[in-house]
Amino acid sequence: MEVKLWNDKRERELLESYADLYAIIKATEKLERAYVRDLVSAADYEAECLKLISQFNSLSSSLAGAVTVPRFVQAYRLDCPAALNRLLQSGVPATVELRAASASSAPAATAASGAAIAHCVQTFITAMDAVKLNMLANDQVRPLLQDVATSMARLGPLLPPDFEGKVKVNEWLGKLHKMGAADELTEQQARQLNFDLDSAYSAFLAALPAAGL
């Protein structure tokens, strides 16, 4: 007798999302353990961890009305403490946390705490995720870019006024300010914004070792 796992397309998509969430949590746990055991380079760990965090944020947002992550973990008996800490508590790779701690203790970064640097990373990730999910209306994009700009401003002397990321984000805020709330970015504008955010984020991460290591 054939057993049906779903009754309609909506239930099928929900189960597929559950499977994706399960895979992301398990993959993050394995990645964290591999990093601790020095089985993966810091660069490879950071790139993969950022991808998993981005996927997790996107998926958990879409599942917000269906299940919470703690309930999901309990229901499926997932024993993944390192993954849950990285995905739910920290929100940034361990390598970024280490650079943030080093940068915040450096003389040039006395006004910047590790928590402020980690928050800045999270605002970048959130903004980039939103663009990739086609959240392109002005009233969706502008608040996220404003959060990025504000978080960078709070880092004080760690990032100079002419820092590439600040300039790019402020340019986009200027463009969005001239648009109506419901106006949407074109496909070409969205691609450019995604590119600019990615470039600004890379420059931001590169600035951390220079300031603190």
What's the pLDDT band for 4 if we cut at 50, 70, 90?
A: low
Q: Rounded CA gap, 28 and 22, in Å?
A: 10
Contact criterion met (CB below 8 Å) for 53 and 87 = yes
Read off the DSSP letter of residue 184: B
Please indicate whether residue 102 or residue 108 has the higher confidence score (pLDDT): 102
Give the chain's domains with CATH numbers: 9-104 (1.20.1440.200), 108-206 (1.20.120.1130)
Asked whether the predicted pLDDT for residue 111 surpasses 70, the reply is no
Q: Rounded CA gap, 99 and 117, in Å?
A: 9
Is the Cα torsion angle 107, 157, 198, 58 positive or negative in sign?
A: positive
Asked whether the predicted pLDDT for residue 51 surpasses 80, the reply is yes
What's the pLDDT band for 211 if we cut at 50, 70, 90?
A: very low
pTM above 0.75, yes or no: no
What's the whole-number mean pLDDT along residues 102-113?
53
What's the whole-number mean pLDDT along residues 41-48?
89
pLDDT value, residue 41: 92
Q: Rounded to 5, what percent of the chain is helix, strand, coil?
A: 75, 0, 25
Q: Rounded CA gap, 43 and 141, in Å?
A: 29
Residues linked to residue 184 through DSSP beta bridges, in sequence order: 137
Residues linked to residue 137 through DSSP beta bridges, in sequence order: 184
Token pair 């404003």 is at which residue? 146
